[in-house]
Structure 1
């Protein structure tokens, strides 16, 4: 929330979405926007860390309310993103998505502090419900 000319204006919660599949990224970003979120899109895990780490290292709060990330991405994967954020002291909720889920993946995500893991294909409304619970949208 911020004040603009004496009027209180609500800011939409911001979601940082990392997905290397452009079609999946477009679909998820569009649905999150329909649900009332401001969405920042990233094609790689490295892009996520490039956006968030410098801010955190300067001692500022995380510039996003929730991070939604694919796990399997080239070079910097979703687990690297989650670990990098936690190493910087970032407690921002992270929701992971994967097409390659197994029990070990879910256990590792839980150990690293992921808020949720979605196995592709998933119901996009379920993803929106979880993100809304983590960063409610003002109605």
Structure 2
């Protein structure tokens, strides 16, 4: 008789939305090396579609443990998707990144429930510490 082994814990899943190819690759590699499962998305359209397809919204995809998103992207901004995730009941932490953040953008992000807001160019050590801090 075969005994059942306990299932391995899955690594935290991070949705990463960044429209700059080099930055997306750098962030994906950095987070993957830390042991996270990274789903890299190219823009706000893809991030919005993924959020719409999560089980929280009635779709087939597992919800992420964290969303890491650029603010300014084609399609939907990081703020748009943060609002979408909140209204859909997706309760994972969200970290926003921007090279063009002003006080109004930062205030809007925090009002919408962002867990953190980091400036670009991203300090990778600060990013890793922030991800670790906000993940449950």
List alignment gaps of at least 5 residues for structure 1. Answer: none
Structure 2 partner of 1:108: 108
Structure 2 partner of 1:5: 4
CA RMSD of aligned residues (A): 1.9
Q: Secondary structure at the match of 1:81?
A: helix
Question: Could you state the TM-score of these two structures normalised by the residue count of structure 2?
Answer: 0.90
Deviations 1:65-107 (A, max 9, x none): 0000000001211111101111111111110000101111111
List alignment gaps of at least 5 residues for structure 2. Answer: none
Structure 2 partner of 1:124: 124
How is 1:63-102 mapped onto 2 (pairs within 5 angstroms)? 63-102=63-102
Deviations 1:10-45 (A, max 9, x none): 211110000000000000110001111000000011
Q: Secondary structure at the match of 1:95?
A: strand
Shift of 1:62: 5.3
The total of aligned residue pairs comes to: 133
Shift of 1:7: 2.9
Greater RCO structure (CA 8 Å; 6+ sep): 1
Regions of 4+ moved over 3 Å: 59-62
CA distance in 2, matches of 1:95, 1:60: 24
Question: Could you state the TM-score of these two structures normalised by the residue count of structure 1?
Answer: 0.88
